[in-house]
Structure 1
Amino acid sequence: MNILVIGGSGFVGRAVVEAALARGHEVTTFNRGRSGADVPGVEAVRGDRESRADLERLAEGRSWDVVVDTCGYVPRVVGESVRALSGRAGLYAFVSSVSAVDGFPAKPVTEESEGWACAPDAGPDDGDYGVLKAGCERAVEQGFDGDVLIVRPGVILGPHEDVARLPWWLTRISRGGKVLAPGDPSAPLQLIDARDLAAFILDQAERGTTGSFLVAGPAGEITYGEWLEACVAATGSGAELVWVDDAFLVEHEAGAFVELPLWSPPAEARDNFWGVPTGRAVAAGLRIRPLEETVRDTWAWLREIPEDRRNYGTHNRHGMAPEKEAAILAAWEARSA
C-alpha cells in the first residue's frame, strides 16, 4: 500500500511509519519537521497542516491508498486536511481518543457511545481536548469522500513517548533510593503500547475496515504496582518503592495524574477510566504485548538521551519535584513511626 501519515516523526506517528515500512508499504509523511528526525525510508514532505497552500502542495499530483492522521486536535484544522485529501485516498484513518466519548470518564463507556457535542468546524477555543477530538471525528466523517476508520485509544505508552508518563517514572526510579509510590499497588491500569496501536491501525487499513474502535490494553490485567516494579527491574536501580495511601497524598496536595503520572484518588470516574471495553477491537485482531516489554524498550530508548535533555511532557510537565517527594516521604515515615 501507499500510505500518507500526517505527523510521522513523533510517538504514535513514528510507530505507524516504522511498522508500515517494516511491512513493505510505501510511506509519505507530512509535518513541519520539528518533532523529531524523519524515519529513514519515507518520502518526507514539509508543511504545516494549518496552511491551505501547504496542503494543496502536498496533494498536487499525489494519491494514496490510506491516510493515517496521527496529530489532529482542532476540528477546523482537521477539516482543511480532509478537504485537501478527499478523493486522493481510499481510506482516512483518524487517531482520536477515548476522551472523545460523551461523558468520559464520569460515566461508563460502551462501544456504541457517541462523541461529545462539537461542531466539525470548531476552533481551538470551542472545547477541551476530548470535546475537540469528537469534533475532529465529525470533520473526517462528514468531509472525507471515501472510507473512514476512527480509532479511540486509551493511555498510550512506549518508546518515543512525548506525554512522558512512563519516561518520568523510569527516570525517577533509575536514580534509586526510596521512591514515593502512590496509592494502592493493586489499583488497575489499562495501557497500550504505541507499536500495538500502530499494528492495529495498519491491520484494519490493509483489510479496508471502517467504523469506530475503542483501543486499549486489557482491563484489569495490569496493576500500578506491577507497572512500577517493571520500571525498577528495567532500570536495575534497586529503588525501594514506598507505597503512600491515597488519603495521605490528597492531604499533602499531591497532584493527580500529572505530578504523579497515572495516579488519581479513588473515585467512580477512576474505575471508568481504566475500564474501557475493547471487545470489538480484540475481535478485529488487537494484540497487546507484555507490559515488561514496553517498559524495557522505553528504557532502552530513553537511556540514550541525557537526563537534562529528556522531555517530560509536550503540554503538561509530568513529575513531582524532588523536594516535595522527600517532604511527603518524611511525613509518611514519621506518621508510621
Structure 2
Amino acid sequence: MRLLVLGGTEFAGRAVVEAALGRGWDVTVFNRGRHAAPPGVRSLHGDRTAPDGLAALAADGTEWDVVVDTWSAAPRAVRDAARLLRDRAGRYVYVSSCSVYTWAPPAGYTEDAPVVEDASPDAEQTSYAEDKRGGELAALDAFGADRALLVRAGLILGPYENVGRLPWWLNRMARGGPVLAPGPRDLPLEYVDVRDLAEWTLDAAQGGLSGPYNLISPQGHATMGELLEACARVTGGGADLRWTEPEVILAAGIEPWTELPVWVPPGSDMHDALHAADVSRAVAAGLRCRPVADTVADTWAWLREIGGTAPQRPDRTRKGLDPEVEAKVLAGGAAGTTP
C-alpha cells in the first residue's frame, strides 16, 4: 500500500506513519519540515497555509492508495489538499473529532447525531468544532461519500502526546506526595490509545470503509481510578492518591478537563459528551483497545527518553493544576472521602 500522510511527525500523524512502516507500506509525508520524520519515509515539504504551499505535492507525480490528513485549523487547507489529490489517491482519511457534534450530545450518541451548523470547507479558522466539521465537508466534497473516511476521535492518549494530558498526570505522580485525585474512583472513561487509532485507521482504509466513525474505547474500558493508579504505579514516585468528591473540586473553582486533565464530573453534559459516545460501529469494524496500563507505561517510557518534558502544541492550552491550589484543597480536609 502507498500511503501519504499530511503531517506525519507528531502524535496521531506520527503513530499512523509508524504503524504503516510496521506493515511494510510505502510512506510519504508532506509537512513544513519543522520536525524530523520517522526513518524510512519519503518527505515532501510545504506550508499548507501559504500561497503555493502545496507546490511540492503538486509537482510530485506519485499516486497513493490512501491519504491520511490530521489537520485541525482552517478547513480550506483540507479543501485545497483534497482537491489536488482526488485524482491521485484512492481514499482520503480525515482524522476528525467527536467535537463536530452539536453541543452537548447526549450519552449514547451515535454517528447520526446532529453536527455543528455553519461549518464550511472554505472557511478561515474559526472554532475547533467548526474547523473539524469543515474539514470533513472538504474531504467529502473532493472524494465523495464512498471514498472519504471520517475518523471522529475522542480523547487521544499515548506516546508522543503533544497536548499535555497524560504527560501531566505522569509527571505529577512522579513528584510523589499527596495527589488530588478527582472522584469518583470508578468514573468510566472513553479514550483511544493513539497507536490503536492508527492501526484501526489503516485497517479501515485498506478495507475500503467510508463515512464517519466514533473512534474511542467503549465506555468503561478504563476508569479514573485505573488510569491514575497505573500512573502512580509506573512512575514509582510514592504518590498518595487522595480521592476527592466532584463537588469539592468544583467548589474550589478547579476547571475539569484542563486543570485536572481527562476528568469531567459525572452526570454533567461534559461527561456525556466526552466519555459516553456509542462506539459500536467502530468496534464492529475491528477496533481493539489495549489495556490502560500499557498506554500509561509506554507513555512514561517515552517521556523518560525525552527528559520528562513533553512537547506542547502552541494552539492548545496548557494542562494541569497549580500545586498551591492542589495543596489548599487537600488541606481543606475533604479529600479522601470518595470510595
Give the shorter-chain TM-score range.
over 0.9
Report the residue type matching 1:130 in the other structure: A
Q: How does 1:123-138 map to 2 (within 5 A)?
A: 123-125=124-126, 128-138=127-137
Deviation at 1:123, TM superposition (A): 1.5
Deviates further, 254-263 or 7-16? 254-263
Deviation at 1:236, TM superposition (A): 1.6
Q: Distance in 2 between matches of 1:27 and 1:110?
A: 32
Partner SS for 1:327: helix
Deviation at 1:106, TM superposition (A): 5.7
Deviates further, 273-282 or 311-320? 311-320
Deviation at 1:334, TM superposition (A): 9.2
Residue 331 (structure 2) aligns with: 330
Residue 32 (structure 1) aligns with: 32
Q: How does 1:289-300 map to 2 (within 5 A)?
A: 289-300=290-301
Tell me how large the CA RMSD over aligned residues is: 1.9
Q: How does 1:111-126 map to 2 (within 5 A)?
A: 111-117=111-117, 118-125=119-126
Deviates further, 108-117 or 274-283? 108-117
Structure 1 length-normalised TM? 0.93
Q: How does 1:199-218 map to 2 (within 5 A)?
A: 199-218=199-218
Q: Distance in 2 between matches of 1:335 and 1:3?
A: 50
Deviation at 1:108, TM superposition (A): 5.0
Q: Distance in 1 between matches of 2:124 and 2:74?
A: 6
Whether the aligned pair in 2 keeps the contact of 1:66 and 1:93 (CA below 8 Å) is: yes
Residue 189 (structure 1) aligns with: 189
Whether the aligned pair in 2 keeps the contact of 1:174 and 1:239 (CA below 8 Å) is: yes
Q: How does 1:133-152 map to 2 (within 5 A)?
A: 133-144=132-143, 147-152=147-152
Partner SS for 2:305: coil
Whether the aligned pair in 2 keeps the contact of 1:52 and 1:80 (CA below 8 Å) is: no
Residue 247 (structure 1) aligned with residue 250 (structure 2): no
Q: Distance in 2 between matches of 1:312 and 1:141?
A: 31
Q: Distance in 1 between matches of 2:247 and 2:104?
A: 24
Alignment deviations for residues 242-265 of structure 1 (CA, whole Å, 9 cap, x no partner): 112111111111121111101223
Q: Distance in 2 between matches of 1:300 and 1:24?
A: 25
Whether the aligned pair in 1 keeps the contact of 2:107 and 2:276 (CA below 8 Å) is: no
Deviation at 1:156, TM superposition (A): 0.5
Q: How does 1:153-172 map to 2 (within 5 A)?
A: 153-172=153-172
Residue 55 (structure 2) aligns with: 56
Structure 2 length-normalised TM? 0.92
Residue 229 (structure 1) aligns with: 229
Whether the aligned pair in 1 keeps the contact of 2:108 and 2:278 (CA below 8 Å) is: no
Report the residue type matching 2:199 in the other structure: A
Q: Distance in 1 between matches of 2:324 and 2:57?
A: 49
Q: Which runs of 5+ in 1 are unaligned?
A: none
Q: Which runs of 5+ in 2 are unaligned?
A: none
Residue 262 (structure 2) aligns with: 262
Whether the aligned pair in 2 keeps the contact of 1:184 and 1:246 (CA below 8 Å) is: yes
Q: Distance in 1 between matches of 2:336 and 2:47?
A: 55
Q: Distance in 2 between matches of 1:214 and 1:156?
A: 12
Deviation at 1:292, TM superposition (A): 0.5
Q: Distance in 1 between matches of 2:147 and 2:165?
A: 34
Report the residue type matching 1:210 in the other structure: S
